Structure 1
Amino acid sequence: MHWHALRSDAPLQRHQLVRLKPASWSELLHARSDLAGEALLQGWADCGWPLIARRPLPGEAGGYALGLPLPPAAGKRRIAVNARHEDIDAVSSLPYLQETIHSAPAAWASSMDRLTMLAARHAIEARVFGSLAWQWLTGLTYLSPGSDLDVIWTLPPPGHIAPLLAELAEIETLAPMRLDGELIRADGSGVNWRELYAGSKELALKTPVDVQLCSYEAFVA
């Protein structure tokens, strides 16, 4: 993974990973009495573990909206914080699918190889989020027997979308896990691949700030 500094005028994209400075993280925790009992959070930044950019909560304004999920052993609680630009040490994208294969169950390997080749055939990126991404990023146990494989695909040219979705659905029929995820436009807005494959007339478009309905044509335009 490539980490880099965030420009002071740059917004964060959905799913972008963010490392906070340890001193800033400690300051954030001390200001939040509701997080005092979460022992795993105390050394989070010291370990170099990131947070992830999220949509702002209602009434939340200013700063950078970030979050992280605790692993199942720690209750799976979702932690939401708001950071300043000066708190951010570095940012990065989600890990590529092929980077995370060795952190996944062995039974997933064949399906993940097929998905990697699918991305290569369509000249798009396949990046992992969800439980597998957090397990790969932290080394903590996030995956359980019922976990999904969550993948973000960059949006291919319009003529490639239908074949990509058909191949993705075919791969899932043989996969030992459920395949979830989104196709993402260059602006960071995305739609669940299942909605696209089902041919839904109205799609739930997830943007950096909200969720709105849009047509297929509007999404791929």
Structure 2
Amino acid sequence: MMASLARHDLLWLTGVGWARAIDGLSGPAREAALRWRERDWPVVARRRDADAADDELCGGIALPPQADGSKPRIALRAPLSALDRRCGALPLSAVIDKAPPAWQQKLSLLEEQARDAGIGLRVFGSLSWQALTGQAYVTPASDIDLLCRPADRSALESACILYETGSMQLPLDGELIFPSGAAVSWKEWMVARKAGSSCLRVLVKQAHTVRLALPAELLAELPAEMASA
């Protein structure tokens, strides 16, 4: 049985999958989905719809920013059996050369520092879409959305320090993802971390739901430090 899809996974659909995903779309949304299929671009796994069947996948397409500043998004569903292949969000190293020139050197340094600290950083959002499709998604107002899955509390602390220093040079945002799949905004986590309050809750996003949780609940998922082999 295929492992559960995680939010931000990249999903490539079969012809049958695209036919089902496009069914019911009309107008510009249908035209965009047909173009996606023709170019074999992936869709991105999103939070599951409440009425989605267990054998369905929930994906989405984000279109480049429009002239009026809007960012159209297209929600798609397809049979899980019509998934051709999948992978996780792109590693930071894979998108640096697709970033605006003003970001590239700083992103390279961030990636090097993360690698030296044993922290894996992946990218979603506008920079990821730009790297995947070659279309212009990144604007002067764009953030750089980073994903990090800390293995233990030591790695989490290192990631927070890395994010804090990196944010002085780059418009960083994104999510910390805990072992259960619970995802918290970097910015929210940093506010809670600095506040040091046992009562300050953070917004948690998961595959099926959105909820509020205490940071202590999420920290309990992480060992203090991974045991050496």
1:187 paired residue among 168, 177, 180:
180
**2:149 is the alignment partner of 1:154:** yes
Matched residue of 1:45: which SS?
Answer: helix
Contact 2:117 2:158 in 1 (8 A): no
Q: Distance in 2 between matches of 1:113 and 1:41?
A: 33
Q: Check 1:38–1:82 CA distance in 2 against 1; reply closer, same or farther (3 A cut).
A: closer
Q: Check 1:22–1:76 CA distance in 2 against 1; reply closer, same or farther (3 A cut).
A: farther
Q: Distance in 2 between matches of 1:32 and 1:55?
A: 20
Contact 2:93 2:111 in 1 (8 A): yes
Percent identical among aligned pairs is 30
1:172 paired residue among 167, 192, 195:
167
* AA aligned opposite 1:80: A
* AA aligned opposite 1:108: W
Matched residue of 2:77: which SS?
Answer: strand
Matched residue of 2:26: which SS?
Answer: helix
Q: Distance in 1 between matches of 2:129 and 2:167?
A: 22
Contact 1:15 1:94 in 2 (8 A): yes
Contact 1:69 1:78 in 2 (8 A): yes
Greater mean deviation of Cα atoms: 66-75 or 208-217: 66-75
Q: Distance in 2 between matches of 1:95 and 1:16?
A: 9
Contact 2:17 2:82 in 1 (8 A): yes
So what's the TM-score if we normalise by structure 1? 0.86
Matched residue of 1:43: which SS?
Answer: helix
Q: Check 1:91–1:37 CA distance in 2 against 1; reply closer, same or farther (3 A cut).
A: closer
**2:53 is the alignment partner of 1:53:** no
- Please show how residues 66-81 of structure 1 align to structure 2 within 5 Å: 66-73=59-66, 76-81=71-76
Q: Distance in 2 between matches of 1:61 and 1:84?
A: 9
- Please show how residues 1-221 of structure 1 align to structure 2 within 5 Å: 7=1, 9-29=2-22, 31-35=23-27, 38-62=30-54, 63-73=56-66, 76-175=71-170, 178-199=171-192, 201-221=200-220
Matched residue of 1:127: which SS?
Answer: strand
Q: Check 1:27–1:84 CA distance in 2 against 1; reply closer, same or farther (3 A cut).
A: closer
Structure 2: runs of 5+ lacking an equivalent: 221-229
Greater mean deviation of Cα atoms: 83-92 or 98-107: 83-92
Greater mean deviation of Cα atoms: 165-174 or 69-78: 69-78
Q: Distance in 2 between matches of 1:220 and 1:181?
A: 18
Considering only aligned residues, what root-mean-square deviation do their CA atoms show, in Å?
2.1
Structure 1: runs of 5+ lacking an equivalent: 1-6
Matched residue of 1:72: which SS?
Answer: coil
Q: Number of paired residues?
A: 211
Once the 2 structures are TM-superposed, how far is the Cα of residue 193 of structure 1 from its aligned partner?
1.3
